[in-house]
Every structure is written in structure tokens, then in C-alpha cells.
Structure 1
């Protein structure tokens, strides 16, 4: 129980610091974009509240960890869609595999299999995405619209 308590305290502190950073960043962004500044302000306040609630609470930490499995699957699907919709042929293949692995990740999280298998799926996705980068020319990676 000590290790779960320590993880809860560290996660709470991390989220509190993230909330403070977003709160400060919102005032810097406010002059450029009021919408983005307001979004960062709201997210900063929510992060501080969640961080305080998470700090030292084993029950809240266990509850939020269960949602991370689903969230990681959705991130795999979203990043796979971005790779699939915009990119070279190698990125499209890696994007398709990312979508498939994201769906598998969510299915495995739903049935609450061993998290070891979920980590293997993330590792497979990262390896395939890294190998796909070898087949992309560096000029394709540069997306700056600088023209002379």
C-alpha cells in the first residue's frame, strides 16, 4: 500500500504543477487567442482541483488508473488516424496498424486482461511507427510553409 500511496502523491503533485503551468500559460496566450487562453485557464483550474483530489487518495488513484487504459487506446486510434490521413505510404501503413492496436487495447482493457499485454501492444505500435520513419525522407517530415 505504500507504493500506491507514493504513486498517488507523485501523480497528484505532477497534475498540480501541470495545472499551475497551464494557469500561467493561459495569461500569456490570452492576448494572441482569447479562446485558447480561456481553454488553458479552465484546464489549469481543473488540473489543480484534480491534483488536490488525487494527492494521497488511493481510491481516487485506482479509479483514474482504470480509465487510463481506455484513454491510451483512444490515443492510439487518434494518432493512427492522423498518420493514416496525412502522410506517406509508410505512415499510412503504420497508421492502420495503430488503429488496429488501439482497438485491441480497448478490447483488452474492457476485459481487464493483464496490463503486460497492453504494454506489449503499445511497444509494437512504437516499434512499427519507428521503423516506418526509416522509409520517410526527411524533407517529408518538414511541414514548415516557408517559401522564398
Structure 2
């Protein structure tokens, strides 16, 4: 199982950068199309983006999901070396004497990343991306917080 997280961690940078590149290409291809609706109530025009902006939002959501998986796999991979003692990880190795605050720091990192990235997505009106960030990272933080450690 740790091999799976190691592969996700190693391939995560490439996948996240490829997703970001694809989102940028979608943004570039739709630069001449309208980004705000012309008709309807101003509140509806703000909340319901046109199709070009929705395509960008979906591509950005995929890129952010790949980056979230990379971050989560990095947390699990680095914590498996002497901090976490979960049975599915196998033998985690020697106990890391400096790893006592690792789990709390990792959970805080995941929650803070969710807060900031979802806030940026909401400000940019990327509703799908904000929903992905508010779903994946907090659930990942809860999952990492549920791990048994040598210190608990």
C-alpha cells in the first residue's frame, strides 16, 4: 500500500502540472468567448458562469484534485517512516523521535490548504473547484487524524 502512495507521490507533480497546463490551455482557447452572461438578473449573471468559464472551472477542478492527491500521498508517505502504525502500512520502521507533532501538523496543513484554496476558488467564481477543495482536503485531514501513531 505504501508503494501505491509512493507512486502517487512521485507521479503527482507531473500529473498536477499536466492538469494545470490543460486548465491553462482551456483558458487560452476560450479567451475570445464571453466570461460573463449578458442577460438575466445581475446576481444570476454572477453566480451562473457561461460555458467557456465552466469548462475552465472543470479543468481546474481536475488539476486541483490531482494536486490534493499528491499532497495527501506525501503526508502519508512521509508519516509512514516511523510515525504512523496503521496495520495496512506494514512495518513502518524505527520510531521517529521528532515526529510527535507530525500528525497534528499534517492535519493542520491539509485544513489550511483547503481553506485558502477554496477561498481563492470562490473569489474566482470557480464553484466546482471550490466544492472539490471543500470535500477532498477536509476528509483527507479527518482520515490522517484517525491514524494510530507511536505517540498516542
Q: State the TM-score, normalizing by the size of structure 1.
A: 0.30
Determine which structure has the larger helix proportion and give its number.
1
Provide TM-score, normalisation by structure 2: 0.30
Larger relative contact order, structure 1 or 2 (CA cutoff 8 Å, min sep 6)? 2
